[in-house]
Structure formats: structure tokens, C-alpha cells
Structure 1
Amino acid sequence: MTSTTTDDRATVTSVQLTQGTEAPSVSDRVRRFLAETPPPTPCLVIDLETVRRRFAEVSSALPEAGIYYAVKANPAPEVVRALAALGCSFDVASPAEIDLCLAEGAAPETISYSNPIKKAAQVAYAYARGVRMYACDSEADLDNLAAHAPGSSVFCRTLLRDKGSIYPFGRKFGCEPEMVVELLARAVELGLDASGVSFHVGSQQLDPAGWDSGIATAAEIAAALRDRGVELTSLNLGGGLPASYRTQAPPLAEYGAAIRAAVARSFGEHRPRLMIEPGRSIVGEAGVLRSEVVLVSRKSYRDDTRWVFLDVGKYGGLVETEGEAIAYPVLTSRDGGPTGPVVLAGPTCDGDDVLYQHTHYELPLDLAAGDHVDILSTGAYTASYSSVEFNGFEPLRTYCVDGAE
């Protein structure tokens, strides 16, 4: 087993589960690392073998699709390097992510600059580094691509009124289908390769049929462009594949089957090449966030609910507890005895830094300051979301472990 500290940006151990679900697991590699080399808390530990396994599961579920890992989910260099070695491609949102991927072994042609909000200088930088695949959703961005990334392949992102996801994207990204048609037609006039349509079904999409409407819309756009002499070749299915938290997500095979059927139904003989941009489904279950109890207190002599304050909170990487949208499973170093209800909160002087008040958690009654609380399935959108130094708390450290069980 090897371990490395990714950076100073930047866990966990009583499992609370919805009835009928299976307990999440912590790999022996992570257990050994935490036992033999106890790092300062809070910290995130990523099991690279789980990352590889989940990549293989996504590939098996949709073997006809090019897999573009969403780097924003977890940009640890070790994660990017491991995926590049497997032949994975990458969905990036900034020049810094481009540099990261190239430094860790990715080829420029495997990188898709999928953020439709970018400066002209950022487009020019990406093009100079060899990136030739871009997303857009506006005339202004399309003009920048024509001027600074000539001849590149372009996907135009369409608006999608998704349902079934934990985090819908609203109207920030994409444009109406009729505008997509006009932008892709204009892309051809500007000398760009009008490659296809992209959309996003929202993050943590729990409905395997959630891609149906986006695929149908993309097929209508492709048909309209075909009538104008423009043949689209590709379809970018975006992200949304889920990870399992306190509830078990549907099997990835169900998503692959549903997507495959929707493409066949909507595109018929004009079946496009497929791309998909998973993030949390690859790295989410690979992460364990180890934290320490700072304080256990009560707010009233009449209230049995304890407040358990951890040394990590929303600003330390647990942003996805906002609105209690993601309910992480937890373990503690005191598991096995009687338990009682708790509120889980972070350490900062911010009234919003409360993780769970309404989602029911029970932790050991003898839990005390200094005990460990491990938060499972935290590989995605934790270290990459942690603040630089809010209230003076340093960012979440990341450690990656590898090797045989």
C-alpha cells in the first residue's frame, strides 16, 4: 500500500441506512492506512482501486460510450493519473484542469472543454495546449471558438427540464432547442465541426430513465439540422450517474440499458457516437472523510438530542449537505453500544454550518471529544469544494491509497 498527500486543500465509522439498503464498506487499504499512519483530521482518503473498479462498471454499463471523467468531482492528481492509465478521457472546466490532465498523462485529444462559460483567452490557451473539443451554448462563445479554436469540434448544450436528480441545473447552462439548431448551423459557416448536442440531467440522477427527454430533444435537433444539410455525429449525455449514500442507487447496468433503449428509439438508423461525463459515480464511493469530535453538547436539560460538533463542516468540504440533500453514511470509533439521536454540525462560527438537523442520525451515547467519526462515500465534491481558509480553517487534505487488499 502506498499513500500520498495530494495537497493542503484538503472520513469515517456507525452506519445509518435507509431500511432495505446495504451497508457501505471501507476497503482494507483505507482501514490499514488510517490505523497504521493516522493522519491529522479532517482529511479525505481515496481508495484508487475503488476508482478503477467504478470506472470499469461505468464502461461495462455503457461500453459504446466514450467516458469523460468530470475532473471537478475530485481533481486529485493520483485519481486523474489512474484514470488516464485506463484510457479514460476527461471533461474539464478550466485551463487549470487542462494542465492537470496533461501533466498526469492524458493526451490533448482526450480532453473536452465542456464549460460553456469561458473567456476568449481561456479558449486560446486550451487550443494552444492541443484541446480540440468544446461545448458552447451562446453566440458569443461560439464566436470565441471560431476565432481562437479554429476547426475544433463543437457541442451545443440544450436546456433540459430534468426531474429525478438531487441537484438540478436550472437554466444556467444550455439554450432552447431552436437556438441550438441555429448555433450549430452557424458553427459550420464559421469553419467549426458541428459535432453534436449535449445536455445534463442533473447531478445524482436517481431515475435511469432521466436521460429520455434529453435524448429525444437531441434527436429532434439532429433531424432539423439534417434537413439543412448538417449531419451531427455525436451525442454528449453529460453527467448525472449516481453514487450510493445512505440509500443504494440503482445499478449502473439499469442506466446503460435505459440510455441504450432511448437512443435507439429516438435516433433509429441515425445512431450517434455517445459520450458521457461521470464524476461522482466513479469517485464518490472511493472516499472516506475522517473527522474528529470537537465537542458534544445539549441545548436544553429537557432535550435528549445531542449536538455533535465535528472538525469538518460545510466549509471544509461537506457543501452537499446544504438542504440535507446528500445524506452520508457515518461510522464512529465507539460503534457497538447504545445510541441516541444527534444533530451533526461543523466547527466554524457560522450559523449555517450545520450538517444534519432534520435527517435522522443516531450515534453512540458515549461518543466524546477526540473520538473519530468517519463519513463514507465522500470521494466526490468534498475536497474540491472546501474553502481556502474560512474562519482560519485550512482546506481539506487528500490522501490516496493503492495496492492489493
Structure 2
Amino acid sequence: MSGLASAAHIPELRKRAVFTLLMLLVYRMGVQIPTPGINGEALAAFFEQNAKTLFGMFNMFSGGALENFSIFALGIMPYISASIIIQLLTVVIPQLESLKKEGAVGQRKITTYTRFGTVALALVQGLFIATGLENMSAPSGGAPIVLHPGWDFKLLTVLTLTSGTAFIMWLGEQMTERGIGNGISMIIYAGIIARMPAAVGNSIQIIQSGQIPFILVPLLLAMMFGVVALVVYFETAQRKIPIQYAKRVVGRRVYGGQSSHLPLKINIAGVIPPIFASSIMMFPATIGNFIQIDWVQRASAAMSPGTIYYYLLDVGMIIFFCFFYTAVTFNPDEVAENLKKNGGFIPGIRPGKKSAEFIDKVLIRLTVVGSIYLAAVCVLPTVLIHRFSIPFYFGGTALLIVVGVAIDTISKVQSHLVMRNYEGFMKSAKLKGR
């Protein structure tokens, strides 16, 4: 903590922190600018009734921009979706896989493809949202959400939402390059944090009204701190596989012979499995709002949060996506081959195929533990809401994102401090040499 406190006295870090805050302020200002042609009161009433559907989830990630239907209503979700799609396609398309192995040059091309994919997804999503809003109205036969439906509204909405998403993507890239931490993650983080004061205030009102017994408040607070500590522990926990490098003689010099380790996180997949699972789990409730057919309504009710079917399927899908995404993003054969090329080996394990099998076995065990941890943290909010009447989501994807981004930002600050100290060592070494 002393190192982080001293970061305020470093001009470079201070500039980066101020730039990040200014960019987040620009983003939050854009969230308050509404898209033309929308009845704000009817839209607010619609979101109040559909908070537990896909609309509520997207509204959370956009920081309330979808509820206001602002110019940033799509948020950064098209960029995240495009990034995941490109990442999955690198396993299927050999050209993309070769680009991934080309280093910085290939990564720039992949980034360009991701940008184009983001704009394409934003265009499609904007058109679907504009078309859907024209058929929606406030609950109980209220006023329509769109004031003047037609192609004029659709084209204006698509252009506005796509431009907003492109601008958010640019903001995120600028924050990553000139600020602190990952810009895209910081934008999602700011959107979630911005909605926390209202949730806390709502909780205080419910406690004061007596809906939650006051005697349970200390227990709930202790449980909340415990969940945060659990998330921090699992997000920072690693399994370090020891690596030994063989000695190599080049001319009269001997290289290698060092000991290192291969760090494997318990939760390699991050927040991607909960996002995928939540999107799919909220889909039946969303469909149930638009299709008034008896069997569709029964299926939607059976899969709504609070039922045993919802809990079981949600846990199963989180575990499945943990294994699926880990298998896509981490290749034990490739890691073992790179170790072999660089003269590294795992003590007691043959290089090559045996090393890949050992890494794969360790990875499976870690993923089992990580998937159970993710499922427990993500199911917790629905249990609190439907069993104990807690009025806000504590846990789940939002908590994982908040804690993960905070840990990543702290590590980036510490990296800047270490680099600055190294520069100081280099300068002192030069002065001594003179």
C-alpha cells in the first residue's frame, strides 16, 4: 500500500490517472444524452418491469445507458462480442491462427478485424433494437416508447448507436494506451460502480421499512465482506508449475540453467462463462415478454430466476463454458512445444508430449475448482433475492468484474512503479560508472 500511496507523487502516473478519470467522465456524460424520438417515461416503465431479462443485463453492462436509451445505449458489448468471436475463429481459421503467431504485426491486423466486427455487430443490434422498440409500449397498455416510428427513426437510431459504440471503443483504446489499466474493462467497471449508490440507498430504505430484519444486517455485511475476500483470493490464486532451463554453451559463454515457473490461474476463463450463461439463461424470460403462447409462458416461468431448474441449468452452463473457453484460449501442446524449443522442461517430466499431458491434467483440475467457484459466486445473487429478499445483486458477474478490474489496475500501477525504480537503478549505475 505504501508503494501505491507514493504513486501520487510520480508525474507520469498522475497524468495517466487524470487522463483515465477524464475519459470516464466523458463516457458518463454521454450516458445521459438521449437518442432522439424516444418517450423516456414509457421506456423507464418498461425497464422497471423487465429488469430480470436480457434488457436488464445489458443495461447493467452499459451503466444505465440502455435504460435511458442514450447515444451509448449499446455500450461496449458489441466490442466484447466481436473480440470473443475473433478469438474463437483463430482456432478454426488457419489464417487467423498464423496472424496470432506473428507478434505485434499480426495483433494489429486482428485488432483491425475486431474493430470492423464491432461496427458490423453494432449496425445489426441497432437495427434490431430500433425495430423492437417500435413494437413496444409502457406496461398495461401505456404510451408507445417510440414517438414517431418509421424508417427515419430506424436509420437515425442505427447511425446514433453505431457511432456511440465506435466512440466508446476509441475511448477504451485511448485509455489503455495513455491511461492506467485496460480501457474497455474500466468503462464496464465505471458503469457498474455508477449504479451502486442507488442500490445501496434502496437497500437502506428497505431495511428502515422493516422488510429485512435489522438483526440480519450484521450477518449480511459479514457475508458480503467474505464473498469479496473469496473472489480476491480465487482471482489472484495461481498454480506454479516449476520450469528448469538446460545450460547451453555458445562460444565461451554458458547460457540458461535458470529455474522459473509456469503460472496457471485457477480461473483462466475470467468472466466470460458467467456472461455467456447469463445471456442464455435470461433469454427465455425475454421471449416470454413478447410471445403470449401458453406453453411459452409456462417454459418461461419454469426457467425464471428462483426455480430449481434455473439454478441447476445456470450452474451446468457456467461449468461447461469454463471448460470450453479454457480449451479454446489455452493450448497445452503449444506451451509444451515452446518450452521444448527454448530448452525448458518440467522436472521429472519428459519434454514434448508428456509435458503437454501433465499441463493438461493440471489445467483440468484447476478448471474444475475454478468453475465451481464461479458457479457459487454467480448463483449467490439469485438466492439472496428470492430466498432472503435482498434488493440488489451482490455477487455474480458484476462483482467479478469490479474485483478483477481493481486487481488488474493495482497490478498495472505496481508495474509502473517497478519500471520507474529500474530506471533509477540504471541512472545510478551510469553515474557510478563515470
In proportion to residue count, which structure has more strand? 1
Is the structural similarity TM-score above 0.5?
no
In proportion to residue count, which structure has more helix? 2
Q: Which TM-score bucket, shorter chain as reference? A: under 0.3
Higher alpha-carbon Rg: 2
TM-score (norm 1): 0.27
